[in-house]
Amino acid sequence: MAADPDLPRARQWVGEGNYQAAYELLLPFEVSAKADAEFNLLLGEAALRTERAEQAKIFFERSLAASPSSVDAHLGLGRAYLALGDYASAKIEFETVLRFDDLPTDLHQQAEIYAEAARGYAEGKRLLASGYAILGGGNYRASARGTIPEAENDRFFAARVGGNLNYELADGYALNGSLDYRFRDYDNANRRNDSDLRWNGAVSRNVGEGNWAAGLRGRVSYRGDGQYRNDFVLYGNYRLRLDPDNQVTVGAEIAQRRYPTGPLRERTRNIAGLNGSWTHALLDGKASFTLDGFAGREFNTQRPDGDANFFGLSPRLNFTISDKLGGFVFGWWQNDRYNVELLGAPGDSLVGIGTRNDNLYEVGGGLTWQFAPRWSLNPEILYIHDQSNILAANYSSTEIWITLRWDF
């Protein structure tokens, strides 16, 4: 037996897809070469491809211990978690390297999409991509709108298309981009149809168990009668894997929300904010809980209520019922405190002269049934309630819809 493992030959066999031969070549040196990053990476890949996921997990962990910023080892470990059915830990591990937006709501599908990109990277690809197309319909019911007490029922058709790109560079750097277009057509001719284009471009870098990103994102929304809303956001964040079951993220952003023309122009404002989140894997990776927190200030605006401070929280639970069925529930709350004192109008809860104070709530959930590879049906419900001491700002609605999604 040779004194050292034949890494060039093992590398060749892994590259050719001869994983069993590579596994048999390397396994006798498991103890003597356990501190060698490349040895464990190759042996982990060979073990994973020959359905030895538990062993592969150990070998990828050893590779990361020797080389903490190894993109290959991070993505390999994520694939090993997925093969073991630990979807939440797999997603956390993948996100030390990859950044995809607008993934399906199902935790298993999220991990599968990341895993497909990770397999591509293991096979030598550096441009990693995912895309989706969504069609569906539903019903929108506004139960109260300011001073208008009558309920309103509108059916709608919805369509959405988008995708993500990660281009992996040297030394853990990557270029990230995403594009998302959404359209909603209402049966009610008196209601404007919604049209919304969102884009994002960033540079990220994997460093050990963390991932830094800085970028620019934006949004163009049609507001009816030839009016648009344009958002531009400069942001940065840091995502850290604390352990297989926990991930934290902190970030900051500065934005402008611009209404270029028309009566909404006075709502143009700048926004500065801080945000953070914690994700925890549950039920052996079959579920995950995420808690988001945020705070900031809106300023440089001409709206009557003036500048505003805001803060809020958003919990979310994603869970897997079976390999084909998953679901989610979430809540969202934001408090807005404005700084211009106004005289309350009839119906307002302001006493004399005071400032506007809003509490905004959203509660929703849904299921995802993956009835065929890359295809899923998604029924969802969303309840919105805006509570304000200004009567005209009060609002509540319920939306129910079902969509067909294709991921490619």
Domains in the chain with CATH codes: 7-94 (1.25.40.10), 126-407 (2.40.160)
d(CA 48, CA 62): 14
Give 150 or 228, the one with higher predicted confidence: 228
Q: What is the pLDDT of residues 46-62, one digit of tens each?
A: 999 999 999 999 999 99
Beta strands in 190-286 (DSSP E): 194-207, 210-224, 227-243, 246-258, 269-282
Q: Is the pLDDT of residue 220 over 50?
A: yes
Mean pLDDT for the stretch of residues 379-386 = 97
The residue among 19, 116, 117 whose CA lies nearest residue 59 is 19
d(CA 126, CA 128): 6
Q: Is the pLDDT of residue 1 over 70?
A: no
Mean pLDDT for the stretch of residues 143-152 = 72
Residue 29 in tokens = 């040196």
Model pLDDT, residue 147: 66
Mean pLDDT for the stretch of residues 391-397 = 93
Model pLDDT, residue 373: 94
Mean pLDDT for the stretch of residues 288-295 = 98
d(CA 131, CA 181): 12
Q: What is the pLDDT of residues 66-76, one digit of tens each?
A: 999 999 999 99
Cα 314–317–322 angle (5° rounding)? 160
Q: Is the pLDDT of residue 206 over 90?
A: yes
Give 154 or 190, the one with higher predicted confidence: 154
What is the number of H-type helices and E-type strands within the chain?
7, 16
Count of C-beta atoms within a 10 Å radius of residue 360: 18
Q: Is the pLDDT of residue 150 over 80?
A: no
Model pLDDT, residue 2: 53
For the chain, the average pLDDT equals 95
Mean pLDDT for the stretch of residues 101-117 = 96
Q: What is the pLDDT of residues 330-376, one digit of tens each?
A: 999 999 999 999 888 888 998 789 999 999 999 999 999 999 999 99
Q: What is the pLDDT of residues 4-21, one digit of tens each?
A: 899 999 999 999 999 999
